[in-house]
Amino acid sequence: MSEGTPVRLAVPFINEEMLERFFIGNPHLQGVDITPLDNRERGAGLPVLYNEFIAANLERDAWLFFLHEDFEFLGPLAELSALRTEAVYGTFGARLEGRKPRMYGRHTCSNKDGSNARKTGIEIAGPTWVDTLDCQSILLHTAMLRARPTLRFDEGLSFDLYAEEFCLNAQENHGLPVMVLPARFQHYSYGRITERYREGLAHLAERYPDSAMPGTCTFLGGRAAELEAGFTYDNKALQAEAAGR
């Protein structure tokens, strides 16, 4: 339990307007400790920025909330005081049920400009376990990170799949659960499947050759093909990739 533990939001950004609108000026985040991580000139991979933030905050107990700049809270932050520190949390994730992945964490998903908004994910009333989280948000406690120096973001990845890799690492090597928390939010991105994403998938397959887990866009791990035999993802990112070929 972590009563009274401070919450620090880390928001890497390249679009200052989004940062201002969704975080600094967000009425639901007034008084919340927000650290903008300016990545406009540096162009570093997000795992590098996140690991630096972890290193800078590791000594004291805190919840570190890593959020994309296109993530907008539409309600107050979830109550964290009752949460166990020994788990990986997020707001949207995938769980394999039978042969089919199901997405947990009801929210609005739209284009960057807010168009084509639609609801996605299963509504949850309390913390719900999943297999992996989407990169859009990830919440970690420093006590958990202090006790596990090998549990860090994989800097071999840059902008995709690092949250999924973190979840695989947490589960495969540390036996930690991965949970989705109820939250009201909008994600201004449908995501894209790029060559970089494909390279990330190959990286995960190499690093976790015996794993097969669902992600929010594709199956992950060295044995992903076994799951692909029973289910095909149908999402906008894949459709966009198919259309672009």
Partner 1 sequence: MNWQKRSLARRSTLSFPAIEELISQHEVVLLPIVDGLLCWRLRDEAGLFDWLERQHQADGFAQARIKAEWLARRRSGTGGDAHVSLPQIHEVLSELMPEGKITVEIEQEAAGRFLLPDPAMRTLLETARTAGRRVVGLNVHPLPLAYLDDLLKQGGLELDGLHEPQASSDRASFLASIAPMEQVEPVAMLHVGSSETTETEAAISAGMTALSMRSRSEDLQDHPPSFAVPVEGPAAAFIAGKLALNTPLSEAEETPIYQLGYLLGGPILLGFCLDLMQRLGNGGDGSVAVSAQAARLVKQGLEIMGAKQATLSRLVIADGIGGGHSGDGPAGFLIDWSEMDDTSAILLQGSEILDFLFSVTPQMAGIASARRAAGKLDAQGGTLDFLRHASADLAELDADAFRTTNRAALMRLLMAPSEAERSALATVPTSQTGTLADCVEPRQVAANTALPPDTELLRLNQTLRDLLPRDLVRLAESGALAGLDWRQELRKNPFKIGRWATLRRYQRRLEDRLRNRLNGGA
Where do contacts with partner 1 occur on this chain (CB under 8 A)? 84, 86-87, 97, 126-127, 129, 171-177
Shorter beta-carbon distance to partner 1: residue 27 or 175? 175
CB of 7: closest distance to partner 1 in angstroms? Answer: 21
Shorter beta-carbon distance to partner 1: residue 109 or 167? 167
CB of 128: closest distance to partner 1 in angstroms? Answer: 9
| Torsion over CA: 213, 219, 221, 224 (sign) | positive
Q: Are 152 and 111 contacting, i.e. CB atoms less than 8 angstroms apart? A: no
Q: Are 193 and 241 contacting, i.e. CB atoms less than 8 angstroms apart? A: yes
Shorter beta-carbon distance to partner 1: residue 49 or 204? 204
How far, in Å, CA of 37 to CA of 43, rounded? Answer: 11
How far, in Å, CA of 153 to CA of 88, rounded? Answer: 12
CB of 119: closest distance to partner 1 in angstroms? Answer: 22
Shorter beta-carbon distance to partner 1: residue 49 or 167? 167
Shorter beta-carbon distance to partner 1: residue 10 or 168? 168
Shorter beta-carbon distance to partner 1: residue 127 or 222? 127
One-letter identity of residue 8: R
How far, in Å, CA of 138 to CA of 166, rounded? Answer: 10
Concatenated DSSP letters of 166-210: HHHHHHHHH---EEE----EEE-------HHHHHHHHHHHHH-TT
CB of 166: closest distance to partner 1 in angstroms? Answer: 15
How far, in Å, CA of 144 to CA of 164, rounded? Answer: 18
How far, in Å, CA of 36 to CA of 33, rounded? Answer: 10
CB of 175: closest distance to partner 1 in angstroms? Answer: 3
CB of 39: closest distance to partner 1 in angstroms? Answer: 33
Shorter beta-carbon distance to partner 1: residue 96 or 109? 96
CB of 101: closest distance to partner 1 in angstroms? Answer: 13
**Which residues are paired to 102 by β-bridges?**
95
Helix (H) / strand (E) containing 73:
strand 71-73
